[in-house]
Amino acid sequence: MYLRIDRLQIELPQPKEADPNAAAAVQELLGGRFGEMSTLMNYTYQSFNFRGRDKLRPYYDLIANIATEELGHIELVAATVNLMLTGTTKPGDPESAPLSPAVNLRNTHHFIGTAQTAFVGNSMGAFWHGDYVFSSGNLVLDLLHNFFLECGARLHKIRVYEMTTNPVAREMIGYLLVRGGVHATAYAKALETLTGVQVTKLLPIPNIENSKFPEARKYEAMGVHRRLYRFSPEDYREIAKIWRGPAPAGDGDLEVVDGPPAGGPVPDLPEVPEEFAPGLAPEEIAEIAKKLAAS
């Protein structure tokens, strides 16, 4: 089961202006083939379906624990899309076509389907699907797949970074490049303990260090690239049997941190009356608040 904390894994900057076309590109990192929905659901189903858990506990713990971190990653990318869409349109009577700024934007579903928020789909508007989940039951093959998935995710993050200078997008991408690097390394190390093959030598894919990206460099300076957070009050302790030893960058030892990162607030999204979202007048909200206080 899951506990939930009403915080994002990092603090996102407040955007100065709307950037809806860049938000459409960022959707790829949420609901694309290599997006956070895919990492989340691959590791989640592999943990559900794991055979021989008691004998292979460190591998089960690793997959289950990283899956839980990925829940916070879909949350973070969704918050990024939401912040980037905020302010694209202004309130107005329907007759004045207040949503007309959206008509020539790349993703009109953001304006028709979700009231200027994230959806579970990619940068071209195609919805994410379960066919992206690989859960073969063969531990080495599943781990190899996960290593591949993290490398593909890294390639797409870097390409989206190259598409936009938006500070909210780049803050999120910088952090997730570092976390994805941890996950790729963790799966590589797991494969090494099982097979003896030095998979970490393949990294980084693509061949550019995270330190080339200022927003990632900041998190590396904090040691985030050496930490595997244990996302449970009591469980998944055996990740420490895989996540240990010197960091690949040679700048210290890998460490398991008990509990999640301190993170930052979940941004409050303003009302968008021209979308009827949330669709309550100020006096109705005041009336509801009065009722809730009384009961």
> In the complex, what is the shortest distance from the CB of residue 92 to Mn ion, in angstroms, rounded to a whole number?
39
> In the complex, what is the shortest distance from the CB of residue 185 to Mn ion, in angstroms, rounded to a whole number?
13
Whether residue 133 contacts residue 47, with contact meaning beta carbons closer than 8 Å, is answered with: no
Residue 257: helix, strand or coil by DSSP?
Answer: strand
> In the complex, what is the shortest distance from the CB of residue 69 to Mn ion, in angstroms, rounded to a whole number?
7
Q: How many other β-carbons are positioned within 10 Å of the β-carbon of residue 264?
A: 15
> In the complex, what is the shortest distance from the CB of residue 253 to Mn ion, in angstroms, rounded to a whole number?
23
For Mn ion, the closer of residues 39 and 117 by Cβ is: 39
67/63 Cα distance (integer angstroms): 6
Residue 272: helix, strand or coil by DSSP?
Answer: strand
C-alpha dihedral sign at 198, 200, 205, 209: negative
254/224 Cα distance (integer angstroms): 10
For Mn ion, the closer of residues 63 and 99 by Cβ is: 63
Closest by alpha carbon to 139, among 195, 68, 202, 67?
195
Whether residue 27 contacts residue 107, with contact meaning beta carbons closer than 8 Å, is answered with: yes
148/233 Cα distance (integer angstroms): 30
For Mn ion, the closer of residues 70 and 274 by Cβ is: 70
For Mn ion, the closer of residues 62 and 102 by Cβ is: 62
109/195 Cα distance (integer angstroms): 46
> In the complex, what is the shortest distance from the CB of residue 151 to Mn ion, in angstroms, rounded to a whole number?
12
DSSP run (H or E) holding 146: helix 139-163
Q: Which residue has the closest beta carbon to Mn ion?
A: 73
> In the complex, what is the shortest distance from the CB of residue 231 to Mn ion, in angstroms, rounded to a whole number?
12
Whether residue 150 contacts residue 180, with contact meaning beta carbons closer than 8 Å, is answered with: yes
For Mn ion, the closer of residues 102 and 216 by Cβ is: 216
> In the complex, what is the shortest distance from the CB of residue 107 to Mn ion, in angstroms, rounded to a whole number?
22
Instruction: Give residues in contact with Mn ion (CB under 5 A).
Output: 39, 70, 73
Number of residues that this document lists for the chain: 295
Closest by alpha carbon to 228, among 248, 257, 208?
257
For Mn ion, the closer of residues 220 and 274 by Cβ is: 220
For Mn ion, the closer of residues 150 and 274 by Cβ is: 150
